[in-house]
Structure 1
Amino acid sequence: MFAAAAPLLELIKLLPRFADIEALLEHEIEARYILKRAADHLELGKLEGSSSSEEISYLIGALVDKHWERIHSGHFSSVPLVIRKVYALGCYFKIIFMLLESTSHEQREKCGAILDEAQLLGCTDKLYAKSKDLQAALMSYLDEDVIGNNSKPLPILAPLERISSRCDIPQLNAPSILEFRNSCYQAEQPTLLLNTINHWPAISKWRDLNYLLKVAGNRTVPIEIGSNYVSDEWSQQLVKIRDFLYRQFGRETSSDDNQEVEYLAQHELFAQIPTLKSDICVPDYCTVSGDTPSNVDIKAWLGPRHTISPMHNDPKHNLLCQVFGSKIIILASPADTPNLYPHESEFLNNTSQIDAAIPDFERFPLLRRTRFYELLLQPGDCLYLPPKWWHYVRSETPSFSVSFWWE
């Protein structure tokens, strides 16, 4: 029933052997049994003519289904990490067994969806030594020719000319680590950092939206629908990046003010798509606390103009780096928290009820006591925000930002 071509054999080599995952499965008896059988079965030389192939494939499918249910049985944050890791491993093995049955376009599309589930719901971080290699190889194999040549090209965004603009906070030109530690980090001083990420390949590569389409178009990601997450019309959907790119950046729709605004916001895109992560690097400033780059949370923010993050604060240090496009940012100190009317609900208590761009002093009279700071974040700029500083962000053009959060 199964026959493995050379590309599949290379993928199988990147799967874990049982010894690679044995410690993880110490207390997962069922998963231990199934994944051991699958790993042993897929060793080279045992692929052809095995009467147990269909049985193992069935068991892997059942394992994935069961752990999907376990992940969805309560709040996602309370799901034990081992469950998410077993789910990701099961998805990897399930994809290989499906490809051994068929490598048709339809089958590869199904496998691509399973890979997205492994990354979005499972935990692929530090899963086993070759996990990232398998992830990248699967993407390359599954996405080959999947976009097709019948799609219209996406625009290549022109570089923005730098303009002089209001900046109410200090600016530093490529500060040293010591200067950053003293003037920004220890002083808890929001600062605009200039000329610190100009060496990123992303600065030039990502403006070509066809590049993003090629390396990421077939991935499924959560997209925010609506310009502002506190509006009544706001919602979220899982969509292919290619559909998002064409709707929001296609030539026919990019200038349509009636186009519904969609935003890829606060998503761990670079864990999902390693090729994009190779176009950036964690700035050294993020390790000033003694933390390692691997412990820095990296988030992507991609959208058209008019996307808005309402006035809110975050619990960690934040370095917001602008790859292309520009954003208006309005800040307020943690000392002004009582004057900013945070929402009372637990879910939104880090978000203000005000519209920082158009303050309503009659409805929110305490705003008169608040000092606001405004700046324009332009390509190549990084904004350092200490924990709990309030910030409002509005894109003035199509925009791609990367934020780095650390303790």
Structure 2
Amino acid sequence: MDPILIKLAKLLPRLEDVEELLDNEVEARYILKKAISFMENCESSKCVDEEEIRYLICALVDRNWERIHTGHFSSVPLNIRKIYAIGCYFKIFFLLLESTDPGQREICSGILDEAQLLGCMEDWSELKISLMQYLDDEKVGASVPLPILMPSTRLQSTCDIPQMEAPSLNEFKTQCFTPRQPTLLLNTIKHWPAMEKWLDLNYLLQIAGNRTVPIEIGSNYASDEWSQQLVKIRDFLQRQFGSEEGSQEIEYLAQHELFSQIPALKKDISIPDYCTISGDDPPGAVDIKAWLGPAGTISPMHYDPKHNLLCQVFGSKKIILAAPEDTDKLYPHDSEFLGNTSQIDAASLDFEKYPLVKEVKFYDLLLQPGDCLYMPPKWWHYVRSEAPSFSVSFWWE
């Protein structure tokens, strides 16, 4: 076995690491026990039944993929997602035992991405990072370099909510969090390395280009034409920001946990201290989401159940807010999936179709690089990118 693979194999889960996970999972226990034993003995040339174990691992991955896709994703038991991820790890290793050529690495990279998107890999982050580095050993580049964006000049614009210049923790708590007052926090993340690094889209390409992510097709997720696809970030960047920019349908990397998938990018940001202020004791986890796309991407008027700090790295976004008290006048969709989304177009109000909207108080603002918008739970917001844009949102309770 390749010495690097031997080193990586030592990071694979051992049977004692997954014993509790495999309670009542007789089939998974049998297969993983054989696979773990195989990997432990492979270095000493005592490998037996490789073809049979490879087949069983592939069957385990396929079986748990089906279980994940039965019913709503949020209701899938965590142990099934973890078993799926472990199975993917072993499947990757068996493929690499066959070959480590670039084509095989590409296949393995896709399996690793799917394990991250569908599985749960938090218990084996060291293995995930090491395997990602091994599979992405070849630098990713574009045949034609991607543009390096120019830093934006701050625009004068109206803002219908309070503005504060990088408030202290106590100021944020007393003036924003406790009264649940939406506030524009100016020049709050200018210290992030991302503010400079991410302007060079070739940097994003090199760090993240090989990763597969879910991309929204179409400018508005509430429209009939909207869809989703899994694509390589390199293809998404080339289509939306490359030489043929504007000739493609709008695509949006939206509400994606990009930073858990690509830890190298997480080093370029930091969780704002404001997210430590919580109604819970101790505070719960902070969900970090990425939003990357060209000009014209739209998030229709909707609300989130948690506190939301939307931080702008590059580009700008027009935002329209409405208070929770006006929910009934904003005509939420009846469906469960879109129950937190309004039927109105906040940028072009139709009073004949939605007469109660006349009674709603709307608040307009422009979110610019270095700024953060604090939105309390259940505040409605419409978001439209005015230029190529990268935002990071932090949700917490």
TM-score interval (norm. to shorter) = over 0.9
Select the residue among 243, 262, 287 that pairs with 2:276. 287
In structure 2, what residue type is equivalent to 1:327? K
Aligned counterparts, 1:16-165, within 5 A: 16-43=13-40, 46=43, 48-125=45-122, 127=123, 131-145=124-138, 147=140, 151-165=143-157
State the alpha-carbon separation in 1 of the partners of residues 249 and 341 from structure 2: 23
Could you tell which deviates more after superposition, 159-168 or 21-30?
21-30
Equivalent AA in structure 2 for residue 280 of structure 1: I
TM-score using structure 2 length: 0.95
Which residue number in structure 2 is paired with residue 328 of structure 1? 318
How far is the alpha carbon of 1:400 from its aligned partner? 0.5
Quick check: 298-307 or 334-343, which moved more? 334-343
Evaluate the alpha carbon distance shift between residue 360 and residue 312 of structure 1 in structure 2; reply closer, same or farther with a 3 A threshold: same
1: distance between equivalents of 2:128 and 2:328?
46
Q: What SS class does the counterpart of residue 348 from structure 1 fall into?
A: coil
Matched, 1:253 2:239: no
Provide the rounded CA distance (Å) in 2 between the counterparts of 1:294 and 1:186: 17
Residues 275 and 396 in structure 2, CA contact (< 8 A), matched pair in contact too: yes
Residue 372 of structure 2 corresponds to which residue in structure 1?
382
Query: Matched residues in 1 for 2:91 and 2:147: separation?
Result: 37
2:171 corresponds to 1:193: no
Structure 1 unaligned regions, length at least 5: none
- Residue 30 (structure 1) shift: 2.1
Q: Show the counterpart of 2:287.
A: 297
5+ residue gaps in structure 2?
none
Distance 1:69 1:63 in 2: 10
Please give the TM-score of this superposition, normalised by the length of structure 1: 0.93
| Aligned position for 1:369 | 359
Matches within 5 A, 1:388-403: 388-403=378-393
- For residues 45 and 221 of structure 1, the distance between their equivalents in structure 2, rounded to whole angstroms, comes to 33
Deviations 1:36-55 (A, max 9, x none): 22223222664525222222
> What SS does the corresponding residue of 2:4 show, helix, strand or coil?
helix
Does residue 347 (structure 1) correspond to residue 327 (structure 2)? The answer is no
CA distance in structure 1 between the aligned counterparts of 2:41 and 2:126, rounded to whole angstroms? 19
In the alignment, residue 217 of structure 1 is paired with which amino acid? G
Q: Secondary structure at the match of 2:22?
A: coil
Contact 2:253–2:291, Cα closer than 8 Å, also in 1: yes
Matching residue of 2:162: 170
Secondary structure at the aligned position of 2:321 is classed as strand
Determine which of 190, 204, 207 is the counterpart of 2:199: 207
Partner Cα separation in structure 2 for residue 69 and residue 325 of structure 1: 40
Backbone CA RMSD of aligned residues: 1.7
Q: Deviations over 1:201-256 (max 9, x none)?
A: 11111111111111111111111111111222111111111111000000x223x3
The one-letter code of the counterpart of 1:389 is: W
* 1:223-242 aligned within 5 A: 223-242=215-234
Aligned residues: 396
Counterpart residue identity of residue 275, structure 1: A
